Structure 1
Amino acid sequence: MEGLSSKEVAKRLKVYGLNEIPKKKDFKIIRILFDQLKSYLVLILIIAGGVSFVIGHSKDAIAILIVVVINTVVGFIQEFKAEKAVESLKSMIKSKAVVIRDGIKKEIETKFLVPGDVLYLSEGDKIPADCKLLSVYNLKVDEAVLTGESNPVTKDINIEDLSRTFKGTLVVSGNAYAEVFATGKDTEFGKIVNLLNETQDDPSPLDIQIDKLSKKLGFIVLFLISLVFLLGYFKNFKIIDLFMTSVSLGVSAIPEGLPVILTLTLAFGVQALSRKKAIVRKLKSVETLGATTVICTDKTGTLTKNEMMVTNVFTFSNELDIPGEGYNFKNFKLKTSNNDLKSLLQICNACNNSQVVPNILGDPTEIALKVLSAKYDLPDQVKIVDEMAFSSSRKMMSVFDGKKVYTKGALEMLIKKCSHVLVNGKEVEIDANYKKIIKAKSKDYSNNALRVLGLAYKKSNSISEKDLVLVGLVAMIDPPRLSVKQSLIDVKKASIAVKVITGDNLETALSVARQIGFENPKGLTGDKIDKMKDYELKKALKEYDIFARTSPKHKFRLVSLLQSMGEVVAVSGDGVNDAPALKKADVGVAMGIKGTEATKEVADIVLQDDNFSTIVNAIFEGRKIYKNIISFLKFLLSANFDTIAAVSLLTLMGFPLPIIPLQVLFINLVTDAFPALALGQTVRDKSIMNEKPHATNESLLSKFGKFISIAVFLQIFANLAVYFYGLKIDQSIFGASFDMNSQSLARTMVFTQIVMFELMLVYVCKFDFVPKIKQMFDNFWLNVSVVFSFCIQLFAIYNPVMQEYLKTTPLNLTQWAMILLLASTAFLVQPLVAWTNKLQTKNS
């Protein structure tokens, strides 16, 4: 097949356009903007501003409006940045197809397909356009996305209704050549895609935790502001002042910026992962990574380099060591007169869908076999007329040229199909001795971490896999990745178990496991798994590290049982049949290089380098993100509750309100947004990989409730100290009482002390241990945000316009010294938490 020429493709691209389906315009900017205004806290502020304007407090109304505008603008910018970051990552996952152009089979991005292109479709491919089938080999296609029918459709080029394939459907088995007749919006899928409902992602563990936390906070805040209002009412405070104060405290106590900061922190984490070759398809999966307790990984290409090379060839008449490295064959001109070897090379070349000339394309195992035959005088290329594609159940592949069947596959499966062996060009009936020789040689290769395939043929007038003639074995090396050994050490320190689930034979898998650092690995094969009941297999999962000669069905069962045991499971996979296990996993990881479109479609994360170490790097990033989320949650809740606690206590004691509503809103704006956002960017060292994974069902409030309680207690103490100091001076000026429209030293000191306490507390919130001084100030953006917030506070105190709105007065050096000294008690929070934990442990 020649396919289209490059010139013709260029012409057709101009006529038909890219093979993409236009997306509906979603008015993203307007949507994000209105999302900011939908917050019930913002609506309360708008109502409060309206009430202020009606009763004649125009300055308060203008100030509240300014706060609403600033809050909306900041929230919009942050959320817009987060969405743009995630969008840019989605574009990095490029869908590809194998196409014949200018007579050459090559891989291209699917968006460049045009009508008339000839495609090669194989198992696991997501069909990229509507096509007319030209030739098929046992092709079955899952068309559920279009028809809703769950059973795969067997295609037949001689039946009109079965001779077409459609964009978006999935090749379940077999392969085919097909000609594209419709692309983009002209495909059947393109006509209906915008009518389909988008699927909703399930809430992540952190979503559930934050939802529970929000409900608890809602009840607590409602109770406290109701208490403040009632106490103030009975103390004869003005109703409007109580209303405004209650509204302000309610707004302050609920961290309304949390969703935006959470999304942005996750988005920044996702960008960091992309730089480490892990593309995140589902944003919330990053949280779950940090909680992973078991990694179920493939061997080939994940723990190893996936750079197959045949090192040994065995026939019953000779055995050879094959020279070379990688896929290089052009410098080799090997010769042989051995007919058995020639037969073996012919099978390597014929039972093969890869190519090495003019470019290398295909499955690494098949490429290695092509390279082997290319190192010798290439056998005559046979014309294939039928094929039995490889399947995970048969573990074999066969092709037919009209005269002979050529077969390759796993030795233990292939030998069951063989009735003869080839010895010096003669077909000899197989007996126990030949079986013993071949199995011993296979075991010898496997124990040296070599992957073994058997090769066979038979003369026939139709394709079948019975009564084959076994020609010999090829042994291939797939070197372990250099980084894997250290990564396994890292996950062991992180209390994460690794289970290797592979289709290779047990001896090879165990040998590779020993090479990469498993200590005395124990293995279990798929046939034994089939005989075990669930309770027996659960026990085996605690004992065994290696699961060999497994099928996708085994993989799914192992993942399901691990989850039932309370484990959080990350699963890697590449084949179409791995998709159910990836979908079942807590985090599904697809291989970007050797992975099929089917696995990429259901995966949470796609690895651009297919490297196990990248999974470990992603877990580190997940733990870092979770730590940072916990840090800014601690900060937001500690910062917000200290104000409402101080106001409640002083109101209960019968004193004038220590802070006015606009000051509360100002604090919320200054101390929440920027430092909290900077906390989300805290750099973490590798020591977090020495900790156990966090429990997905842990209560956030109980996790840092002690921290918040101690912070609130110290803040109340500091607030009372500066309040009574300032109140004494205020009363000497205003008398026994003063209203909320008067400038007040007491309120200015409380206002400033809250800000300064929180700007110091933010450094403590980074840690769940007592840090060294150097560690506290290692976040550049946090330092910048604290300095920025401090400058804004100075502006609020010393600028005449701000003094008018916020009712502040200038502070002298003595007052600043008192405020800073009391605010520095924030640095005592973590030592006090450690001390109480020590006492608790001692008592228990």
Structure 2
Amino acid sequence: MPSHPYPFQGLTDAQVEQSRRENGTNALQDTSNSAWWEALKETVTEPMFILLVACTVIYFSLNELSEGFFMLGAILVVSAISFYQDSRSKKALEALKTYTQASTAVIRNNEVVELPSSEIVVGDVVVVSEGELIPADGTLLQIHDFSVNESILTGEAFAVHKELQNAENNQVFQGALVQSGQGVFETTAVGQHTRLGKIGTSLATIEAEKTPLQLQIDQFVKRMAAVGAVIFVLIWGINYVQSRDVLGSLLKGLTIAMSVLPEEIPVAFATFMALGAWRLMQQGIIVKQTQTVEALGSATVICTDKTGTITENKMALHRLYVNESEEALGENQWQNAPARRLIEVAMWASEPAPFDPMEKALHEAYRQSTEKDERSEFRLVHEYPLSGKPPMMTHVFENQSGKRIIACKGAPEALLRHSTLSDEEKEKVHRQVAAFAADGLRMLGVGVASFEGKTFPEKQQELAFEFLGLVGFYDPPKPNIAKVFKQFYDAGIQLKIITGDNSLTTEAIAKQAHFRSTTPPLTGEELLRLSPEDAEKKIAETTLFTRMFPEAKLKIINTLKAQQQVVGMTGDGVNDGPALKAAHIGIAMGKRGSEIAKQASSLILIDDDFGKMVDAVAAGRKIYNNLKKAIQYIISIHIPIILTVALPLVLGWVYPAIFTPVHVIFLELIMGPTCSIVYENEPLEKRSMHQPPRPMTTTFLNLRELSISIVQGLMITAGTLFIYQYSVRQGYSEDQTRTMVFATLVIANIFLTLANRSFFNSVIESFKYKNNLLLGVIGITIVLLAGLVYVPVLANFFKLTPLSLNQLGFVSLVGLVSVGWFEGFKWGKRKRFW
């Protein structure tokens, strides 16, 4: 006997192996080699790489071999860091691809098993249901109200109804989406041999638009590069006029160009976003596009469905209302004939092979309550799919003797509207609906009809239904949902429930979950009847939206976006697809979510835990805040490097070439790991989830934050130039002056790293934040500085001299003061806050 409801045995393990050898698998083609070459091309075309090569060529041309070989080593180190950062990002993204791979129901060895789509082979019998993506090409064997959207192949975005008897219309193709019903097909082509594979279409090749932050970063880097080019020409020209030395002047110009170029910023952005997405994946949150991480930190409204998100999605049959006896019956009172008939008709109105939780519950209730299981004796001869507002569906079954069952279920309002009940009887049912809803039950009306002819009416609403009663399912709120709601409210994020359920049930569940709502629910039909002005106002005010359908959901999302809200939307069904796609953050459920919902979404909760969205928002805020810290650090530390290199040259000071390319590249090698490793690992600051979301348009380039970074840079510059002039007045040599200035800049960099861990809390408070990499990077920086100053071979190469204890203490004090003032600024900021 088969252990599943389908009359197919599927392939055996041996047949699977044979098919795999003969026809290959459904896996995508490996492109790792091209990815490696792409990374190499990106590295060698980076501006910093080109500048390093130019400096190396000049050093060798000037016969300064040691500097030339050092620059060669710098090229290798910079390239290695670039490859490392790139590999970290790519590994994180590859891991995400593995997790987002779809699974498929396949019949093998006479059992239904869930397999990754890549493991399907030719000959496999595959089961696909409403909302799923067809994983391979095949020929249909069995269908129930089966239609697909083949727009990925044809460009026509409408449902195609399939027919078993029509050879031209019984084929399915990889990439199509199941619009309705359920189908079973035998696989005829996989992988590159499918129609989709042959035409080379791939969703992965579609490039996502850049986010506002990405655009701001690109513009900033381009402006800095332009400034660097102007300064490079200026310095080169001034030096050439003074010295008539083309190569020497060019070297000085390249030194300033290297100090201006903020190549760490785009690297930091890519690293933060990719690793942020990877860390979220470790928490059970799949981010399909890394730019979604940026939007998470800005979310102002999250629209959530009810079933399975707020509730546990258990969908256990809990209570019945039998219209014949006008009785409401609990779980232990279903043994009388009218109750059993109500359950039986509700089961016949469900799919023969159920995939919906409520239909599964009805099949199980029928199995437990019936005296004789007749499911194998009847076959489905006609069906009316779920339709109408509110919706209902009808199935027609017959057995061999010609006995016919016409069973219908759907929204109670829909069944009552098309039933034979009198107005008084309908009013009694409405009162019972209200009573069930007050207990938070989700209800379906159940009816049965008679029809003797062979040509069925075009619409199910044309049948006259005998109303049998109500079946009520209890789906309790999740135990943690009240806490989750509070965390969202504390973070300044609005919550709105958008559900297809009725208003009374939704209000009851919302109350049990401690959901904040001060306005009455708004239904989909009521929403679409409103004028545009009234709709905008209602959508802004209302928090409970009931009896929603796709057009109404989409209207809510688009209206909120037009009101400058950053919108997250949860969903799991086919009808949620348009709204999920339209939202800034489309959130699909990993377990119960349809493939259409997952395809349309930008984020997937693997275990359907809505509480993980709090973690996702916190991660989005942390990543944005840390990226901002890293970028502000980069701006602040670049300013003293630029001015310390440029001003002595432009002003004609006694030691004009205080820094050379070897000094600048050393500073660059310190800054890269600091911004991309230290700040990327910073934890979330305590107050971050008790502040309102930042506007989506706000970026690191707002005037206030940029001004702070510039002032920080100018203060450090003042410190280094003070040490420069102090050293000259003390009669120090060029090498000793260079050492004093260089040490001041490196030590100020260390203090800046610590100070910028928080732009609100003190350094002492920041030390309570766990970041194991911080002390490691600072320790390595100190060791390297000590090596350059006190190891003779390195000191001679860098043209540095050892510092006395007093000199070291003095430059450390100046480095501290040039950054330490910022602690006073933060203290004043905290005072204003308190």
Q: Normalising by the residue count of structure 2, what TM-score does the alignment of the two structures yield?
A: 0.91
Measure how far apart 1:552 and its partner are: 1.2
Whether contact under 8 Å (1:730, 1:746) holds in the other structure is no
Identify which range, 150-159 or 16-25, moves more after superposition: 16-25
- Distance apart, 1:832 and its partner CA: 4.8
Give CA-to-partner distance per residue, 1:498-544, whole Å, 9 cap, x none: 11111000111111111212234431001101101222111112210
1:635 offset after TM fit, Å?
A: 0.9
Match of 2:3 in 1: none
Answer yes or no: is 1:380 the counterpart of 2:380: no
Asked if structure 2 preserves the Cα contact closer than 8 Å seen for 1:354 and 1:363, the reply is: no
Matching of residue 262 in structure 1 with residue 258 in structure 2:
no
CA distance in 2 between partners of 1:824 and 1:397 (Å):
75
* 1-structure distance, mates of 2:386, 2:127: 16
Is it true that 1:363 corresponds to 2:356 in the alignment?
A: yes
Bigger shift: residues 261-270 or 218-227: 218-227
Q: Which residue number corresponds to residue 754 of structure 1?
A: 745
Q: Residue 782 of structure 2 aligns with which residue?
A: 790
- Report the secondary structure of 2:615's partner residue: helix
Question: For 1:770 and 1:260, how far apart are their aligned partners in 2?
Answer: 27
Mapped contact 2:262–2:638 kept (Cα < 8 A)? yes
Contact 2:755 / 2:823 at 8 angstroms: preserved in 1?
A: no
**What is the RMSD computed on CA atoms of the aligned residues?**
2.6
Q: Deviations over 1:336-380 (max 9, x none)?
A: 2x332122121232222376xxxxx72212122223223323642
Secondary structure in structure 1 of the residue aligned to 2:48 = helix
Q: 1:644 aligns with which of 636, 642, 645?
A: 642
Letter in 2 for 1:206: L
Deviates more, 1:382-391 or 1:799-808: 382-391
Residue pair 2:107, 2:113 contacting (<8 A) in 1 also:
yes
Give the letter for the 2:380 counterpart.
Answer: I
Distance 2:635 2:819 in 1: 17
Gaps of 5+ in 2: 1-6, 399-403
**Cα offsets for 1:188-237 (capped at 9, x unmatched):** 22222368892110102220221232234334444545554555566659
Q: 1:298–1:500: 8 Å Cα contact kept in structure 2?
A: yes
Distance 1:237 1:484 in 2: 75
Do 1:538 and 1:561's aligned partners in 2 also have CA atoms closer than 8 Å? yes
Distance 1:50 1:257, change over 3 A: same
User: 2:561 matched to which residue of 1?
Assistant: 563
Equivalent-residue separation in structure 1 for 2:242 and 2:298 (angstroms): 51
Query: C-alpha deviations, 1:668-714, integer Å up to 9, x for none?
Result: 11233245421111011442111121222225232422221221232
Structure 1 SS opposite 2:393: strand
Matches within 5 A, 1:810-825: 810-825=802-817
For residues 768 and 638 of structure 2, the distance between their equivalents in structure 1, rounded to whole angstroms, comes to 23
Q: Structure 2 counterpart of 1:622, which letter?
A: G
Q: Of the candidates 193, 206, 210, which is equivalent to residue 186 of structure 1?
A: 193
After superposition, the C-alpha distances for 1:537-593 in whole angstroms (9 at most, x for unaligned) are 111122100110010111111111111111111111111232222121111111111
Q: Which whole-Å CA distance do the structure 1 matches of 2:468 and 2:141 have between them? A: 33
Q: Deviations over 1:380-415 (max 9, x none)?
A: 213222322324755222211131211111111222
Unaligned runs of 5+ in 1: 325-333, 356-360, 420-429, 739-743
2:327 is matched with 319
Provide the rounded CA distance (Å) in 2 between the counterparts of 1:88 and 1:341: 51
One of 575, 580, 583 as aligned partner of 2:581? 583
In the alignment, residue 246 of structure 1 is paired with which amino acid? G
With 232-241 and 80-89 compared, the bigger mean Cα shift is at 232-241
Distance 2:566 2:553 in 1: 15
Distance 1:501 1:790, change over 3 A: same
1:692-703 matches, cutoff 5 A: 692-701=692-701, 702-703=703-704
Pairs within 5 Å for 1:420-819: 430-461=421-452, 464-465=460-461, 466-522=463-519, 523-655=521-653, 656-657=655-656, 658-701=658-701, 702-729=703-730, 744-776=735-767, 778=769, 779-819=771-811
State which of 344, 347, 363 in structure 1 corresponds to 2:345: 347
Query: Does the residue aligned with 1:481 lie in a helix, a strand or coil?
Result: coil
2:401 maps to none
Q: Is the 8 A contact 1:760 1:826 kept in 2?
A: no
Secondary structure class of the residue paired with 1:547: strand
SS in 1 for 2:426: helix
Give the secondary structure class of the aligned counterpart of 1:300: coil
Cα distance in 2 for partners of 1:195, 1:618 equals 28
Question: Which range is displaced more, 284-293 or 245-254?
Answer: 245-254
Going from structure 1 to structure 2, the CA distance change for 1:194 and 1:510 (only over 3 Å counts) comes to closer
Query: Whole-Å Cα distance in 2 between the matches of residues 814 and 25 of structure 1?
Result: 56
Contact 1:114/1:183, CA 8 A, preserved across alignment: yes
CA deviations 1:614-664 (Å, max 9, x no partner) are: 122111111111011001101111111111123333344431223223111
Q: Residue 694 of structure 1 aligns to a residue in which SS? A: coil
Cα-to-partner distance string for 1:225-282 (whole Å, 9 max, x where unaligned)? 5554555566659654443233122222222133233222222211221122111111
Report the alpha carbon displacement of residue 836 of structure 1 after superposing the two structures with TM. Answer: 8.1
For residues 337 and 832 of structure 2, the distance between their equivalents in structure 1, rounded to whole angstroms, comes to: 80
Provide the residue aligned with 1:4 in structure 2. Answer: 10
Provide the secondary structure at the position in 2 that maps to 1:3: coil
**Equivalent position SS for 2:199:** helix
Q: Report the count of equivalent residues.
A: 807
| C-alpha separation in 2, matches of 1:354 and 1:544 | 39
Distance 1:386 1:180, change over 3 A: farther
- Measure the CA separation in 1 of the matches of 2:326 and 2:787: 89
Letter in 2 for 1:380: E
Aligned to 1:117: 124
**In structure 2, what is the Cα distance between the partners aligned to 1:367 and 1:582?**
26
Output the amino acid matched with 2:744: Q
Residues 225 and 113 (structure 1), Cα distance of their counterparts in 2 relative to 1, 3 Å cut: closer
* Cα drift, residue 29 of structure 1: 2.0
Distance 1:567 1:211 in 2: 25
- The code of the aligned residue for 2:374 comes to D
Distance 1:187 1:59 in 2: 59
**Deviation larger for 630-639 or 482-491:** 482-491
Q: Is the contact made by 1:521 and 1:546 (CA closer than 8 Å) also made in structure 2?
A: no
User: CA separation in 2, counterparts of 1:521 and 1:107?
Assistant: 44
Q: Tell me the alpha carbon deviations over residues 86-127 of structure 1, each in whole angstroms, 9 at most, x when there is no partner.
A: 101210123122333444444333233333333333221211
1:201 matched to 2:192? The reply is no
Contact 2:639 2:713 in 1 (8 A): yes
**CA contact under 8 A between 1:495 and 1:691: conserved in structure 2?**
yes
**C-alpha distance in 1, partners of 2:85/2:613?**
28
* Structure 1: distance between partners of 2:352 and 2:265: 52
- How has the CA–CA distance of structure 1 residues 839 and 666 changed in structure 2, closer, same or farther, with 3 Å as cutoff? same
1:44 matched to 2:35? The reply is no
Q: Partner letter of residue 515 of structure 1?
A: Q
Question: Quick one: percent identity of the two aligned structures?
Answer: 26
CA 696–404 in structure 1, closer or farther in 2 if over 3 Å, else same: same
Alignment of 1:153-302 (within 5 A): 153-193=160-200, 198-226=205-233, 228-229=235-236, 232=239, 240-302=247-309
Q: Conserved in 2, the CA contact under 8 Å of 1:310 and 1:322?
A: no
Cα pair 1:63 1:805 within 8 Å, conserved: no
Aligned mates of 2:39, 2:670 — CA distance in 1: 22
CA gap 1:374/1:825 in 2 versus in 1, 3 angstroms: farther
Whether the 8 Å contact between 1:390 and 1:397 is mirrored in structure 2 is yes
Distance in 1 (alpha carbons) for counterparts of 2:121 and 2:236: 70
Which moved further from structure 2: 42-51 or 237-246? 237-246
Q: SS of the residue aligned with 2:379? A: coil
| Distance change in 2, residues 1:230/1:281 (3 Å) | same
Residues in 2 aligned to 1:24 and 1:275: alpha-carbon distance in whole angstroms: 25
In the alignment, which residue of structure 1 is the partner of 2:406?
405
- Structure 1 distance, partners of 2:697, 2:302, is 20
